Structure 1
Amino acid sequence: MEQKSCLRVAILISLFAISCGRELKSAHKDNLPVYNHTLAMTLVEYASAVYLKDLTKLVTWTCSRCGDLTEGFEMIELIVDVEHCLQGFVGVAKNLNAIVIAFRGSASIMNWIEDLYWKQLDLKYPGMPDAMVHHGFYSSYHETTVRPGVLHAVKRAKELYGDINIMVTGHSMGGAMAAFCALDLAVNQKIQNVQVMTFGQPRIGNTAFTSYYSQLVPNTIRVTNYHDMVPHLPPYYPHLTEKTYRHFPREVWLHGNGSTTSSYPVEKVCDGSGEDPNCSRSVAGTSIFEHFTYYEVKIISGTPGSCKIVMDPRVADYSTQDLAGNFVLYRDPSAASVVEVKTESSTPSNFI
C-alpha cells in the first residue's frame, strides 16, 4: 500500500511538471532573515518531537527526543485534535528565551495531495485582497481545535514569562500550519516578535498571499531537503498570474556536496524570491525518504499515517476534553503540582 501511494505521488509530480515561463514577482522586504544553523538544529528537534505518540512523556518532556538542544523545555499545553488527527504543543525554551509552537504534519500525505489542485479559497484577512490559500492547510489550523488551543497557550505563556519572542515550527503539513499560525499571531493578535522555521513545507498560497505574508512575517525560513517531493507541491506555474501556488522566502536548501566521504549536506541560503531556480527547484521532487529526514534527524517515528497515541490514564486529570473527544493537556511550570506520573505504566489508547 505504501509503495502504491509513493507511486501515485510520483505520477502526480510527473503530470504536473513545471515548464519554463515568465517569472512572477513577489513583493517582499529587502531585510531577509539570516539563517542560523544551530537554531535550525534545535527547531528540527521540536518539529520531530511533536510527532511522538506517547503523550505522557511528551507533556512531561521526558521522551527520548526531549533532550540535547531542547533540554529544559517547559511544556505549557499539548493540543490533540482527535477528529482530524492533528497535534501541536506550546511551551517555553529557556535557552532560546522564546515561546516555541510546534505542529505535527499530516498522518497521510496522500489525503491532501489528492485535493490540492482544486481547493483554493480566498483569504479573508484584512488588507489582503486577491490573496488565495490552500483550503485544507488553512482549515487544519483555522477550523479545528488547534487554533483556540494555541492562542490560549500563548496567552498563558506570556502571563508566565512576559513578552518574549515566539518561534513557530513544523514539518510537512505542520509547516503549513506553522505559517498560518504565525500570520494569525501577527495580523489578528498584533504580535510582532514572531519567527518561523519550517521543514519540508508545501506551498500554501498564491503570489498575492506570499507578498502579504513576507511583509507581515518577514522572519521566516523554509528548510528544504535534497529531492524532497513535498516542497514541490502544489506545483508552481510561473506563467500563471493569479492562482498558481508560490513559496514565500526565505528558502535554505540542504543538498549533496558531491563528496563520498562526508554525509553532511551543503546548506545553501537561497535568494529572496521564494522560488530560487538554483535551490530545490533545480532538481526533481521525487523522494519520500528525504521528506522524512532533515539534518540526519528522522522526523517521524513509527508508522506514518497512524494516529494511535499512548497516555497514562492519570494524565487525564490535567486535561480538558470536548464532546468530540478532542483534548488539551495542561502543565503549569509555575505551580508545585505538575504532571508527575510513571511513564512506564502508560496505557495505550487508540483514538483513530
Structure 2
Amino acid sequence: MERSKWLTMVIILSLFVLSAGRGFKAHRKYDLPRYNHTLARILVEYSSAVYISDLTELFTWTCSRCNGLTKGFEMIELIVDVEHCLQAFVGVAKDLNAIVIAFRGTQENSIQNWIADLYWKQLDCNYPDVSDAMVHHGFYSAYHNTTVRPGIISSVNSAKKLYGDLQIMVTGHSMGGAMAAFCGLDLTVNFGMQNVKVMTFGQPRIGNAAFSSYFSQIVPNTIRVTNEHDMVPHLPPYYYHFPQKTYHHFPREVWLYHIGFGSLVYTVEKVCDGSGEDPTCSRSVSGNSILDHLKYFGVQMGCDDVVRCRILMDPRLTAYSTQDQSGNFIMSKSRSNPIIKTNVENVESGVSSNVL
C-alpha cells in the first residue's frame, strides 16, 4: 500500500513538472474587470453558506454562516439535486441591489478522490456552436444536464418579477465555481440577461484556450479568486507544450498570498494579467495544499459535516417544495402566500430540524 502511495505521488509531481512554465497570452478585445475587495468578502460568504446541509437554517437564512456580510439576504429558491449531490440557491441581496446565485462545491469527505480524478481528466466535450472550444464534461453536465439549470432559470425569472431587472451575481467555490461559470455564460448567451457578474473561489480549469477566449468575451465581468497553494486551480493540469489542446483558465485571476513574518504577516491580493494563466500569480507556486482550498479570506469553505449529501429539514417545509421521481426538489419562498410566510417564521423561531 505504501509503495502504491509513493508511486502515485511521483506521477502527480511529474505532471506538475510537465505543466509548469509560461503560457501564451491570448489577445484581448475587451476590458478586464475591476477587482472589488468588499464584494469579494461578501460573495465568499455566500459561497460558504451554500454548503450548509441544514436546509431549514439555509432556507430561512438563520444558519451560523448567514449572519455576517450577507445578513438580510432574502432567499427565493433553494435547489437540491439529491441524485447528483448538488445544491444551489437564488435570492436577493438588497445591499448589493442584485440577484445572487450560489453553487455548492465538492464535499470534504470526497474531495481527495475528486482531486485525484482531475489529474487524469482530459478534454472530452465540444462546446456547442464555438469552433475548437472544448470543456470538461463533468462540470458542463453538472450544470446543464441536471435539475439545477431549470431550477436556477425559473428562480431568476421569479426574482426579476418580484424585484425588477436587477444585476445578477453568480458565485461558487471549487466545483461550485465551475458551475457558476457555466451558469453565467448560459444566462448571457441563451437567455439574453445583461449585467451578469461571476466571481468564483478556488475554481478548477473548465475548458481549453478557445473556450477561455470565448468565455472572456461573453462574460467579461468575471473574477477568479485563488488562494496561496490551493491545488484545485492548478487542475486539470495545464501543459505548456500543448497550449491549444490543454485546459486553460479564463481571466481575471486575483491571487491571495501572505507575506511577512510572525505577527507582521498580512494578505496580498494580487490582481493578475489578462491571460488567465499569469505565471506571476498562482502558477508561480506549486499547487499542493488542500487546506488552502478550504479557507478563503478566513472563511471556512466546505460542508459542516462529513456525511455525504446529508439533508436536515423541518418536516413542515416539505409542503413548500416540488419533488421529482428521483427525489430532487426545489424549495420556494413565496412572498405572496401568508400561510407559507407564517410557517417559515415559526421555523425561524426555533423549531429543530429532522434528518431526511
Match of 2:111 in 1: 109
Match of 1:48 in 2: 48
Work out the percentage of aligned pairs sharing the same amino acid. Answer: 63
Q: Encode CA deviations 1:82-133: one digit per residue, 9 max, x unaligned.
A: 011110000000000000000000122244434443442333433x111000
C-alpha contact (below 8 Å) 2:121/2:236 kept by paired residues: no
Aligned counterparts of 2:142 and 2:63: Cα–Cα separation in 1: 26
Partner of 1:328: helix, strand, or coil?
strand
Letter in 1 for 2:128: Y
Partner of 1:324: helix, strand, or coil?
coil
Match of 2:322 in 1: 320
Aligned counterparts of 2:296 and 2:318: Cα–Cα separation in 1: 33
Q: Encode CA deviations 1:195-249: one digit per residue, 9 max, x unaligned.
A: 0100000000000000000000000000000000000000111220432001100
Match of 1:340 in 2: 345
Q: Using a 3 Å threshold, how does the CA distance of structure 1 residues 164 and 146 change in structure 2: closer, same or farther?
A: same
Q: Encode CA deviations 1:264-314: one digit per residue, 9 max, x unaligned.
A: 411111111111111100100111111000000111243456211210010
Q: State which of 210, 222, 225 in structure 1 corresponds to 2:224.
A: 222
Q: Encode CA deviations 1:8-51: one digit per residue, 9 max, x unaligned.
A: 98656413114456733324344111111110000000000000
Q: 1:255 Cα deviation (Å)?
A: 0.3
Q: Encode CA deviations 1:122-159: one digit per residue, 9 max, x unaligned.
A: 33433x11100001111111111111100110110111
C-alpha contact (below 8 Å) 2:170/2:199 kept by paired residues: yes
In the TM superposition, 1:273-352 aligns within 5 A as 273-304=275-306, 306-336=308-338, 337-338=340-341, 339-342=344-347, 343-349=350-356
User: Relative to total residues, which structure has the larger helix share, 1 or 2?
Assistant: 2
C-alpha contact (below 8 Å) 2:25/2:274 kept by paired residues: no
Matched, 1:14 2:19: no
Letter in 1 for 2:355: P
Q: Using a 3 Å threshold, how does the CA distance of structure 1 residues 86 and 59 change in structure 2: closer, same or farther?
A: same
In the TM superposition, 1:24-35 aligns within 5 A as 24-35=24-35
Aligned counterparts of 2:42 and 2:65: Cα–Cα separation in 1: 11
Q: 1:77 Cα deviation (Å)?
A: 0.5
Aligned alpha-carbon RMSD (Å): 2.4
Aligned counterparts of 2:163 and 2:128: Cα–Cα separation in 1: 29
C-alpha contact (below 8 Å) 1:29/1:214 kept by paired residues: no
In the TM superposition, 1:103-182 aligns within 5 A as 103-107=103-107, 108-116=110-118, 117-126=120-129, 128-182=130-184
In the TM superposition, 1:53-68 aligns within 5 A as 53-68=53-68
Letter in 2 for 1:340: E
Aligned counterparts of 2:293 and 2:10: Cα–Cα separation in 1: 17
Aligned counterparts of 1:28 and 1:14: Cα–Cα separation in 2: 33
Mean CA deviation greater in 22-31 or 188-197: 22-31
Partner of 1:156: helix, strand, or coil?
helix
C-alpha contact (below 8 Å) 2:173/2:203 kept by paired residues: yes
Q: What TM-score, normalized by structure 1, do the two folds share?
A: 0.92
Letter in 2 for 1:240: F
Aligned counterparts of 2:91 and 2:8: Cα–Cα separation in 1: 35
Aligned counterparts of 1:190 and 1:100: Cα–Cα separation in 2: 17
Aligned counterparts of 2:265 and 2:126: Cα–Cα separation in 1: 42
Q: 1:186 Cα deviation (Å)?
A: 0.9
Q: Using a 3 Å threshold, how does the CA distance of structure 1 residues 329 and 68 change in structure 2: closer, same or farther?
A: same
Aligned counterparts of 1:297 and 1:25: Cα–Cα separation in 2: 32
Aligned counterparts of 1:249 and 1:305: Cα–Cα separation in 2: 35
Letter in 2 for 1:53: S
Gaps of 5+ in 1: 1-5
C-alpha contact (below 8 Å) 1:222/1:251 kept by paired residues: yes
Letter in 1 for 2:141: S
In the TM superposition, 1:80-99 aligns within 5 A as 80-99=80-99
Q: Using a 3 Å threshold, how does the CA distance of structure 1 residues 321 and 184 change in structure 2: closer, same or farther?
A: same
Match of 2:72 in 1: 72
Q: What TM-score, normalized by structure 2, do the two folds share?
A: 0.91
Mean CA deviation greater in 196-205 or 332-341: 332-341
Partner of 1:160: helix, strand, or coil?
helix
Q: 1:341 Cα deviation (Å)?
A: 3.5
Q: Using a 3 Å threshold, how does the CA distance of structure 1 residues 289 and 115 change in structure 2: closer, same or farther?
A: closer
Mean CA deviation greater in 17-26 or 128-137: 17-26
C-alpha contact (below 8 Å) 1:112/1:136 kept by paired residues: no
